[in-house]
């Protein structure tokens, strides 16, 4: 059996971690298709730059001609779709990009894959998988005492980002039920770890702390998220791809619910030890509460019982071990941070937080 897979969005945060692990573990050839928008970064893949098992293609999942060409040439046994616009704040400022990539792009990808899958022999059709990586945000927001999201939870997306991901999930489900395409969908909680673009909470706080900038906290900081170390997430995706039941959805969570303010204070404590401020004060002194974002969901929590029971996956990292590794990685890779936080990134951060009454640059 051909062990080639196509990974879309494989230069982004989660996608790059997945590709790196796949190649390092010798699991087969990866054709990596990425549009290289602001969050897609080839520096994430330097470790395998010359590895013959990694073939990078600069392109868009909305380009059906390119997709058809890649599918015909490489004949993959699986597609793993990470390609997405994924930042809630950006979706509030400019929702159109999210509709184009997450909805229209997923549609074009599904159409190209359906045509390819239909052309395969019966044996290869049975082996083929289309795995779509999604988010817990499609389920909406939970109250403090509500049970965590299961795979049967009603969709109730509250931001343009989560609505666009919900739409893509529904398309994937429809292509399985209508055409028989062998799909799998995973909905994950908040990821953190190496190569995370510093617009999201954890890398933003690390970057701003070291840059002597304010650490912006939306509202009171009591919004609760379930935190999942990215390498655990990648291991879960590999397990779903290997043994998941076709047409099923698997929720992937870290069993680590934390209020945002607690996450930030934890980061400050670790940085106080690993990289103390020159003036001897705590990084926590840089915390700045800013105006909350529109429609901010108050709590996400994933019930990952299904994947544990059916596929035997559980996260290896606790939040404490994972966050320690994450801070260490950022401290050891300041050149990477400097390269990704130039230009467009600085303009975006200044615009987003200035609107909330906090100067960030």
Q: What is the 3-state secondary structure (H, E, C) of 298-350?
A: CECCECCHHHHHHHCCCCCCCHHHHHHHHHHHHHHCHHHHHHHCCCHHHHHHH
User: How far is it, in rounded angstroms, from Cα 260 to Cα 287?
Assistant: 12
pLDDT above 80 for 231: yes
User: What residues form DSSP beta bridges with 211?
Assistant: none
Backbone angles phi, psi at 159, to 5 degrees: -125, 160
User: What digits encode the pLDDT tens for the residues 168-200?
Assistant: 999 999 999 999 999 999 999 999 999 998 878
60 neighbors 35 (Cβ within 8 angstroms): yes
Question: Taking a C-beta distance cutoff of 8 angstroms, is the pair 182, 128 a contact?
Answer: yes
- Summarised one tens digit per residue, pLDDT across range 293-326 is 777 888 999 999 999 999 999 999 999 999 999 9
- pTM of this structure: 0.92
* List 137, 169, 257, 317, catalytic entry: 137
| The residue to which tokens 């209508």 are assigned | 178
pLDDT confidence bin for 87, thresholds 50/70/90: low
Q: Higher model confidence: residue 168 or residue 144?
A: 168
DSSP summary character for residue 283: G
- 60, 89, 136, 257: which is the annotated catalytic residue? 136
Name the pLDDT band for 355 (thresholds 50, 70, 90): low
Q: Domains, the chain, ranges and CATH?
A: 5-195+227-255+299-318 (3.40.50.720)
Which among 116, 139, 161, 218 is annotated as catalytic? Answer: 161
- Element of type H or E holding 229: strand 224-229
pLDDT at res. 344: 55
pLDDT classification of 341: cutoffs 50, 70, 90: confident
What integer pLDDT is reported at residue 192 of this predicted model? 97
> pLDDT value at position 39?
75
Q: Is the pLDDT of residue 1 over 70?
A: no
Neighbours of 168 (CB within 10 A): 27
Examine the residue annotation and report whether 161 is marked as an active-site residue of this protein. Answer: yes
* Collapsed DSSP state (helix, strand, coil) of residue 224: strand
In this predicted structure, the answer to whether residue 118 has a pLDDT above a threshold of 90 is yes
- Mean model confidence pLDDT for the chain: 92
Residue 339 has pLDDT above 90, yes or no: no
* CA nearest neighbour of 213 among 337, 89, 39, 37: 337
353 falls in which pLDDT band (50, 70, 90)?
very low
Lowest mean pLDDT among 68-72, 95-99, 130-134, 253-257: 95-99
Give strand pairing partners of 164.
none
What pLDDT sits at residue 72?
A: 97
Give the max Cα distance, the chain: 68
Answer yes or no: is pLDDT of 66 > 50. Answer: yes
- pLDDT at residue 359 greater than cutoff 60: no
* Interval 246-251 mean pLDDT: 98
355 is catalytic: no
Nearest one of 227, 210, 229, 201 to 352, comparing CA atoms: 201
Residue 45's CB is within 10 A of a number of other CB atoms, namely 22
Structure tokens at 100: 């184009």
242 is known as an active-site residue: no
263 Rama sector, left if φ>0, alpha if ψ -120 to 50, beta otherwise = alpha
């Amino acid at each position: 059996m051909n062990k080639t897979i196509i990974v879309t969005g494989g230069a982004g945060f989660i996608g790059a971690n997945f590709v790196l692990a796949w190649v390092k573990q010798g699991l087969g050839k990866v054709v990596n298709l990425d549009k290289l928008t602001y969050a897609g970064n080839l520096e994430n893949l330097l470790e395998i730059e010359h590895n013959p098992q990694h073939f990078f293609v600069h392109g868009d999942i909305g380009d059906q001609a390119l997709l058809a060409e890649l599918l015909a040439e490489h004949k993959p046994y699986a597609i793993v779709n990470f390609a997405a616009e994924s930042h809630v704040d950006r979706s509030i400022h400019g929702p159109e990009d999210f509709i184009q990539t997450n909805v229209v792009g997923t549609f074009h990808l599904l159409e190209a894959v359906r045509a390819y899958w239909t052309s395969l022999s019966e044996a290869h059709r049975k082996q083929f998988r289309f795995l779509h990586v999604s988010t817990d945000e499609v389920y909406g927001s939970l109250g403090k005492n509500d049970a965590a999201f299961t795979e049967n939870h009603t969709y109730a997306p509250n931001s343009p980002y989560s609505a666009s991901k919900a739409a893509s999930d529904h398309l994937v489900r429809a292509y399985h039920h209508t055409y028989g395409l062998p799909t799998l969908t995973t909905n994950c909680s908040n990821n953190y770890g190496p190569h995370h673009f510093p617009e999201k909470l954890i890398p933003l706080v690390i970057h701003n702390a070291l840059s002597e900038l304010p650490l912006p906290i939306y509202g009171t900081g009591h919004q609760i998220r379930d935190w999942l170390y990215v390498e655990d997430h990648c291991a879960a995706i590999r397990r779903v791809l290997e043994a998941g039941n076709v047409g099923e959805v698997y929720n992937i969570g870290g069993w680590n619910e934390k209020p945002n303010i607690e996450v930030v204070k934890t980061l400050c404590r670790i940085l106080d030890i690993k990289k103390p401020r020159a003036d001897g004060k705590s990084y926590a002194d840089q915390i700045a509460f800013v105006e909350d974002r529109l429609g901010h969901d108050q709590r996400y929590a994933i019930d990952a019982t299904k994947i544990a029971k059916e596929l035997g996956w559980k996260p290896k990292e606790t939040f404490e071990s994972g966050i320690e590794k994450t801070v260490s990685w950022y401290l050891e890779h300041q050149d990477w941070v400097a390269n990704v936080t130039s230009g467009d990134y600085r303009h975006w951060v200044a615009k987003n937080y200035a609107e909330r009454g906090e100067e960030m640059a």
